[in-house]
Amino acid sequence: MAGTARAFLSTLNDTQRAAASFPFDHPERTGWAYVPQRRTGIPLQAMDARQRAAAFELLGTGLSERGTGLVRGIIELEGVLRELEGGGGFRGLQRDPELYYLALFTGPGGTHPWGWSFEGHHLSVNVTELGPHGQIVAPLFMGADPARIPSGPREGSRLLAAEEDLAFELLRMLDPAQRARATLAARTFGDIVTRSVPVVGPVEFAGVPAAEMTTAQQRQLRRLLHLYAGRMADSSASRQLQRIEEAGFGRLHFAWAGAHQPREPHYYRIHGPTVLVEYDNTQDGANHIHTVWRDLENDFGGDLLRRHYARQPHRH
């Protein structure tokens, strides 16, 4: 990742490099959001074709091929949304596929730890590189509006179809008692519960624990969990999944809120000792999806970062 980041920076002029580069302890490193707003960093609209290609090369060090494809799809949806809204916007900001920002955060002298973020409407990719401690890709937020394109040449296209379909399949696999236990509320919460807090506070375990699922149900839960982990680069996804197994796959809880059928507001989450995955499809007539992966121990580096500082001498 370090070489790819340097390659991206080498394509920038001095003004662009200043706009894209920040010290690792800059407060914006952990100040993430998924609504339309101005961000820290250099936007796509300020990059030429070579610089954009280098930016997406860097993105590919944190995300898998599928994850990078979802990023491109989210950016494209911003243009679709602009057409559907007739050029309208949100809080005075136009829907603009060019307003996605890349920011790099580096330690003293370019040493570890360091990281980067790529962020805009419905997208927040946060990567922390800790050298021998590995790479953390979290929080990782991806959304889709419209979730199902209602008209035009791409009518019916669904960017996050699997995230919805696999979850409904799992819900239908639960027996009536399990389904009742999984259902937290008859209505959704209006959005993901954790919103965009830098650190997730205690969340009570609720729903059906994997330990009480049948083998087929557990297999389906794994499919859904691996779908989300698969947005990350393979090495990062493997470490996340290994930690989930070590903490006890049976301790994962699957919980639901809202309707038990598609095209009506619904929400679910997968919650374990190390991970929280949230999905919400409530807004705009249940055609507007928010999803997030939170590492409950290592968002933005978290415990690994504290361990890194404890073992490495750093100048102040």
**What would the pLDDT profile of 108-134 be if each residue is shown by its tens digit?**
877 778 999 999 999 999 999 988 878
Where residue 92 falls among pLDDT bands split at 50, 70, 90? low
Residue keyed to tokens 């590492």: 295
Burial class (CB in 10 A: 0-12, 13-18, 19+), 132: exposed
C-alpha pair distances (Å), 200 with each of 29, 279, 296? 16, 15, 7
The tokens for 259 are 């309707």
Give the Cα separation of 200 and 202 in Å (integer): 7
Looking at the predicted structure, is the pLDDT value of residue 207 above 50? Answer: yes
Report the percent of the chain where pLDDT is more than 90.
85
Where residue 303 falls among pLDDT bands split at 50, 70, 90? confident
Where residue 66 falls among pLDDT bands split at 50, 70, 90? very high
Q: Which of 296, 310, 262, 300 is nearest to 282 (CA)?
A: 262
φ, ψ at 295 (rounded to 5°): -90, 110
Where residue 316 falls among pLDDT bands split at 50, 70, 90? very low
Burial class (CB in 10 A: 0-12, 13-18, 19+), 216: exposed
Task: Give this prediction's pTM.
Answer: 0.95
DSSP state for residue 211 in the 8-state scheme: G
Where residue 1 falls among pLDDT bands split at 50, 70, 90? confident
| Per-residue pLDDT tens digits for 274-286 | 999 999 999 999 9
Residue keyed to tokens 């944190």: 62
Please state the rounded mean pLDDT for residues 197-226. 97
DSSP state for residue 281 in the 8-state scheme: E
